[in-house]
Structures are given as structure tokens and as C-alpha cells.
Amino acid sequence: MTTSSRFLPEERRLDANMLAGPLSEIFAVDLTPAFRRCSMCGHGGAFAQLHVYVDCPGLVARCPNCQSLVLRLVRNGNTVWLDLGGTGCLRLHLE
């Protein structure tokens, strides 16, 4: 089930490059240039193209094509919850 764009105003949306800092605390590589595919609609593109919303409990990233939930990141002190359930796949190029 997708969320209608009328509930996700553009002025609330941020570029997914802002996830680089929080995700660098978990992963040793930068995920923003990684190729990702949405598990709901199959849309592929750079991780940085996701639509990120910060006025939620934590950080929420949605597919730019279908607005399905791709990532949730919540931090509480020294504990982090990361849900990548909507990420169909990630392709990373390691140097």
C-alpha cells in the first residue's frame, strides 16, 4: 500500500544525502551513491534520491516513485533501530 502524495508535502521533504551522517555511524561505507531498488514498485536509482522526512519519530525515507517506506532510522541514546524492509536491494561499489 502506498501513501498518497497529498499527505507528504514537498516542503517537508529532504534530500537523502542528509542520511550520510547518521548512516556512517552504522556502516563503514557511504550508502548515498549506492544503487537501490524499491521492493514495492521496483524503481531503481541512487540511495541519495530517496525522499527523507525528519518530522517523524526518527528519520523516514520513501521511494521517489511510489512513496513506499524504504528506510526508518531511530536513535535513542546509544541504541539505533534501522529498518531497511522496503529496500529491495542495495548495490555498493567498494574501492
Note the pLDDT tens digit of each residue in 86-95. Answer: 888 889 888 7
pTM of the predicted structure, to 2 decimals: 0.78
- Extract the C-alpha cell encoding 68: 513506499
Half-sphere exposure of 18 (CA within 13 A, CB side): 13
Which amino acid is residue 5, in one-letter code? S
**pLDDT per residue as tens digits for the range 9-19:** 677 788 888 88
The torsion angles phi and psi of 72, rounded to 5 degrees, stand at: -130, 135
Domain boundaries in the chain? 9-91
